[in-house]
Amino acid sequence: MNAYQPRDIETKWQQRWAETQLYKTDEDPSKPKYYALEQFPYPSGEGLHMGHTRVYSIGDVVARFYRMNGYRVLHPMGADAFGLPAENAAIQRGVAPRDWTLKNMERIREEQKKVGASYDWDRYFGSCTPDYYKFTQWLFLLFYERGLAYRKQAMVNWCPTCSTVLANEQVEDGKCWRCDAEVIKKELEQWFLRITDYAERLLNDLDQLTEWPERVVAMQRNWIGKSEGAHVTFVIPELEDITVFTTRPDTLYGVSYMVVAPEHPLLPQLIAGKENEEVIQQFVTEMNKQSEMERTASDADKIGYFTGSYAVHPLTGEQVPIWVANYVLMDYGTGAVMGVPAHDERDFQFAQKYSLPIRHVIKPVDGVIENPDTTVYTDEGVLFESGPFNGMLKQEAITAISLHLEEKGLGGKMTNYRLRDWLISRQRYWGAPIPMVYCDDCGVVPVPKEELPVQLPEDVVFTGKENPITTSRAFLETSCPQCGGKARRETDTMDTFMDSSWYFFRFTDAANDELPFAPEKVNQWMQVDEYIGGIEHAILHLLYSRFFTKVLYDAGMVNVSEPFKSLLTQGMVLKDGFKMSKSKGNVVSPLEIIDQYGADTARLFILFAAPPDRDLDWNDSGVEGSYRFLGRVWRLFEQHHQLLQSEIQPAGSLDKDAKDLNRLLHQTIKKVTEDIKDRSQFNTAISSMMELVNGMYTYPEHADQGIMKDALQKLVIMLAPFVPHITEEIWEQMGHTDSIHLQPWPNFNPDALVQDEVEIVIQLNGKVKERCTVPAKASKEEIETTVMDQPKVQGLLEGKTIRKVIVIPGRLVNIVAN
Ligand code: ANZ
Ligand code: ZN
């Protein structure tokens, strides 16, 4: 008997699959399509970690399952290859970012092959190759043509350590998401994409995403952050008006002050010649150094100063003092708010601190505000002290006051989004250059599409201080595409999230050198049917990809407006309850495990140990267990080698053992099929196959062997998506010359599921005393008769009087007797 030798088997089949191009995408148009995609990895210098192995294992089961179910499946892989670490390697170790990246890509690719995933490698690309970034640039120009890319002076988040601008999304708790340095504010000309134009659609279309985790949908919704309310104009005599955004126009009569953001453009005029002018100027300088987070954290101290100016209340005509404070942000709403301390928590804190009046104008419908000076009332209620609006309910008043303001030309309804335009400029080298030039005569001129790509220069110096691209004169100096005169190239590169916002389209037509992708190709495959990746991408990557898809839809380039039909966010891989990390010293390397046990064991363990969306605790005995199971499977087939070669067929009528095994087999087929297709519960699919294997081991030799043979054949096919190497080897040893991965998935026979007999429990006065089997279709009377005929029951009932017999078919019979 041969022992199970995973290493030999896996190398053999990985080579064979590559030679025969087994996983080349099937494009047979008569088949339904299925697009399975795992997020492409960043090729860091570290190689694969267990999280990668987990995503690929999940995606591979899905891809293989659908292939076996008669679908043409697109299952590609690539590398998200631009980004900072390559540049840091250049600075620290003097290697060119390109060489560093390509080397890592190659390494990761080799490691991915060792996992045994069924990718179509012909469609492989890295986003850093000119063939790809040429079209990232092409798409930027498309956005530009459609008025969706623009340049503006902006206060930006600047990371002094990485010396680059960061998107709002890349600032976490006031710190750089990559290096953890304190982020500061800086004014710079930057390129933006107008994602806010799509805010409403990005929000509304979330309703279509019924196969996404609710949590992710909620995160997207919050990020877009729609607020409905009103804008209200406060006139400042002899100055421009100030407009505020409020979600509570119903509290307008409760305004006791106004506040503008430190960056508000009118502030210098408001304080000119006033008592606090200098203090406020200092305060503004200080605030510019702080991040938005620090300023607005709910536990942050509210700090403000009276500007010395007053505005006119739009309805009462009263004088309202204007303040400046840290808790008002310039880039939300209008950068100015009306202070209503009686009904807003932040305003209340501010008013208490600076002794501003607290005026209640909303109260409970049938009550009063008990301690008005110390109470913030934010609930529903009815208006008072509000002139003609007294007696109205909150909602009614919101509408009435908004309308009234509109009639007077002092306001109206306003919707506000928390979502900001997407800042895509990076002052870094290792990204796609923004294809624009600056001409003294013509201004900003786009590079014509036929001149793409704008190649990254190689004659650059990495100092870690300035943008390396600015050190290449050959790159900088160019001629204007419009007038032919001297011009200078844009040196900003694009945020790498641009690269990953459209790679899933590119896979459908990866070799196209005319277009990012041809409509007839992309529309054959999109949407991605199952997208698998980490929860860390729940907001940005998915939001940007959705945005790109909508713009491409509007441009007529794709016929779907949402990219990902179903989304599976896999849990983390932990070790001893902690995230695997170098600093904890608890990292288990996938390559070591594959070396020791084989990829099939690693895959099986990963898929078996937890449902895919849950965290998975790596444990060595679990890995051993998976390895042992595969050994058991191996031996099961060895033992039945003769049978598998024979011509034996299942008998026409089955005995009890054969029927039981047949039923177990078909229950398993049903369970595995539904667990994969409807629930993505690979763990329970595996455990039901383990039960089947147990059942096959205890199957008596004298029982019908035709059924055993059938079960063996179907078992190995069902195991194939999970453990592709061992099953392929067994399949070959069974005498087949074609690949197991091309076999049709087994169907289950509903008739086989029907049980002839069921076991029921017999209770006496509610206590279990005995069990017996009855025909599954037996009537209540028949069941009762069978139970009463049992010798043990008769013994128990001796000398007792039966009061009542309760029969629950299929489950139990309870005899009440005393
Ligand atoms: C008066 C008021 C009274 C407010 C009241 C609330 C309750 P969301 O839901 O987040 O959109 N606000 C508006 N612009 C602001 C800015 N740039 N910086 C800081 N705060 C700002 O919240 C909208 C509310 O946040 C607005 O409604 C405004 O305060 C404040 F009983 O106006 B409200
Ligand atoms: Zn010009």
Same domain, 62 and 167: no
Long-range pairs, 220-226, Cβ under 8 A, ≥24? 220/538, 220/539, 220/542, 220/543, 222/418, 223/418, 223/419, 223/539, 223/543, 224/199, 224/417, 224/418, 224/419, 224/543, 225/417, 225/418, 225/419, 226/199, 226/200, 226/415, 226/416, 226/417, 226/418
Same domain, 303 and 338: yes
- Reply yes or no on whether the pLDDT at 1 is more than 60: no
Same domain, 281 and 306: yes
Q: Distance, CA 324 to ligand 1 centroid (Å)?
A: 15
Nearest CA to ligand 1 atom 27: 246
User: Sorting pLDDT into bands at 50, 70 and 90, what band is 298?
Assistant: low
- Binding site membership of 338 for ligand 1 (Cβ less than 6 Å): yes
Q: Distance, CA 387 to ligand 1 centroid (Å)?
A: 23
- Binding site membership of 343 for ligand 1 (Cβ less than 6 Å): yes
Q: Distance, CA 444 to ligand 2 centroid (Å)?
A: 8
Say which CATH number the domain at 352 has.
Answer: 3.90.740.10
User: Sorting pLDDT into bands at 50, 70 and 90, what band is 169?
Assistant: low
- Binding site membership of 730 for ligand 1 (Cβ less than 6 Å): no
- Binding site membership of 335 for ligand 1 (Cβ less than 6 Å): yes
Q: Distance, CA 312 to ligand 1 centroid (Å)?
A: 19
- Binding site membership of 490 for ligand 1 (Cβ less than 6 Å): no
Same domain, 700 and 627: yes
- Binding site membership of 248 for ligand 1 (Cβ less than 6 Å): yes
pLDDT, one tens digit per residue, over 749-806 is 888 888 777 888 999 999 999 888 888 888 899 899 889 888 889 888 988 999 999 9
pLDDT, one tens digit per residue, over 171-204 is 887 788 778 888 888 888 999 999 999 999 999 9
Residue 781's domain comprises 757-817
Same domain, 233 and 325: yes
Predicted confidence at residue 314, as pLDDT, reads: 96
Are 520 and 149 in contact, with CB atoms under 8 Å apart? no
In the chain, pLDDT over 70 holds for what percent of residues?
Answer: 99
Same domain, 732 and 761: no
Q: Which bound ligand lies closest to the C-alpha atom of 440?
A: 2
Which ipTM was obtained for this model? 0.94
- Binding site membership of 416 for ligand 1 (Cβ less than 6 Å): yes
Same domain, 790 and 693: no
- Binding site membership of 326 for ligand 1 (Cβ less than 6 Å): no
Does any domain span residue 718? yes
Nearest CA to ligand 1 atom 12: 337
Q: Domain end: 402, 417, 432, which one?
A: 417
Atom of ligand 1 nearest to the CA of 255: 1
Q: Distance, CA 441 to ligand 2 centroid (Å)?
A: 5
Q: Distance, CA 489 to ligand 2 centroid (Å)?
A: 12
Query: What separation, in Å, do the N-terminal and C-terminal C-alpha atoms of the chain show?
Result: 62
Nearest CA to ligand 1 atom 10: 227
Residue with tokens 């001796």: 798
pTM of the model: 0.88
pLDDT, one tens digit per residue, over 194-233 is 999 999 999 999 999 999 999 999 999 999 999 999 999 9
Does any domain span residue 294? yes
- Binding site membership of 250 for ligand 1 (Cβ less than 6 Å): no
- Reply yes or no on whether the pLDDT at 740 is more than 80: yes
Atom of ligand 1 nearest to the CA of 227: 11
Same domain, 323 and 383: yes
Distances (CA, A) of 26 to 104, 119, 520, 555, 634: 29, 12, 16, 29, 31
Predicted confidence at residue 616, as pLDDT, reads: 93
Pocket test for ligand 1, best of 228, 242, 245 (most atoms within 8 A of CB): 245
Q: Distance, CA 220 to ligand 1 centroid (Å)?
A: 21
Q: Which bound ligand lies closest to the C-alpha atom of 485?
A: 2
Same domain, 471 and 527: no
Q: How many helices (H) and strands (E) does the chain have?
A: 28, 32
The stretch 315-327 carries a mean pLDDT of: 96
Nearest CA to ligand 1 atom 11: 227
Same domain, 244 and 387: yes
Query: Residue 733 is encoded by which pair of tokens?
Result: 């040893």
Q: Domain end: 753, 777, 802, which one?
A: 753
- Binding site membership of 361 for ligand 1 (Cβ less than 6 Å): no
Give the alpha-carbon dihedral of 326, 329, 333, 337, to 10 degrees: 10
The stretch 243-260 carries a mean pLDDT of: 97
Same domain, 394 and 374: yes
The stretch 394-412 carries a mean pLDDT of: 96
Does any domain span residue 679? yes
582 is in an annotated binding site: yes
More confident residue, 144 or 374: 144
- Binding site membership of 256 for ligand 1 (Cβ less than 6 Å): no
Does any domain span residue 30? yes
Q: Distance, CA 443 to ligand 2 centroid (Å)?
A: 7
User: Which has the minimum average pLDDT: 132-146, 158-172, 429-443, 701-715?
Assistant: 158-172
Average pLDDT of the chain to the nearest whole number: 93
Nearest CA to ligand 1 atom 28: 246
pLDDT, one tens digit per residue, over 630-662 is 999 999 999 999 999 999 888 778 888 999 999
Does any domain span residue 211? no
Of residues 756, 655, 747, 753, the one with CA closest to residue 710: 747
Q: Distance, CA 207 to ligand 1 centroid (Å)?
A: 27
Q: Domain end: 753, 778, 802, which one?
A: 753
* Residue 338, H or E segment: strand 336-339
Nearest CA to ligand 1 atom 31: 343
- Binding site membership of 626 for ligand 1 (Cβ less than 6 Å): no
- Binding site membership of 681 for ligand 1 (Cβ less than 6 Å): no
- Report the distance separating Cα 427 and Cα 423, nearest Å: 12
The stretch 31-57 carries a mean pLDDT of: 94
815 contacts: CB under 8 Å, gap ≥ 6: 762, 763, 764, 765, 787, 793, 797, 802, 804, 805, 806
The stretch 146-152 carries a mean pLDDT of: 97
Are 260 and 242 in contact, with CB atoms under 8 Å apart? yes
Does any domain span residue 199? no
Does any domain span residue 386? yes
Pocket test for ligand 1, best of 337, 349, 386, 394 (most atoms within 8 A of CB): 337
Q: Distance, CA 148 to ligand 1 centroid (Å)?
A: 28
Atom of ligand 1 nearest to the CA of 296: 19
- Binding site membership of 358 for ligand 1 (Cβ less than 6 Å): no
- Binding site membership of 723 for ligand 1 (Cβ less than 6 Å): no
- Specify the DSSP class assigned to residue 79: B
Q: Which bound ligand lies closest to the C-alpha atom of 262?
A: 1
- Reply yes or no on whether the pLDDT at 319 is more than 80: yes
Does any domain span residue 4? no
Are 287 and 167 in contact, with CB atoms under 8 Å apart? no
Same domain, 695 and 787: no
Predicted confidence at residue 172, as pLDDT, reads: 80
Number of structural domains (the chain) is 5
Predicted confidence at residue 684, as pLDDT, reads: 97
Atom of ligand 1 nearest to the CA of 340: 3
User: Which has the minimum average pLDDT: 78-92, 95-109, 573-587?
Assistant: 573-587
- Reply yes or no on whether the pLDDT at 292 is more than 90: no
Q: Distance, CA 540 to ligand 1 centroid (Å)?
A: 25
Sheet holding 164-166, edge to edge: 164-166, 149-159, 184-193, 422-423
Predicted confidence at residue 293, as pLDDT, reads: 66
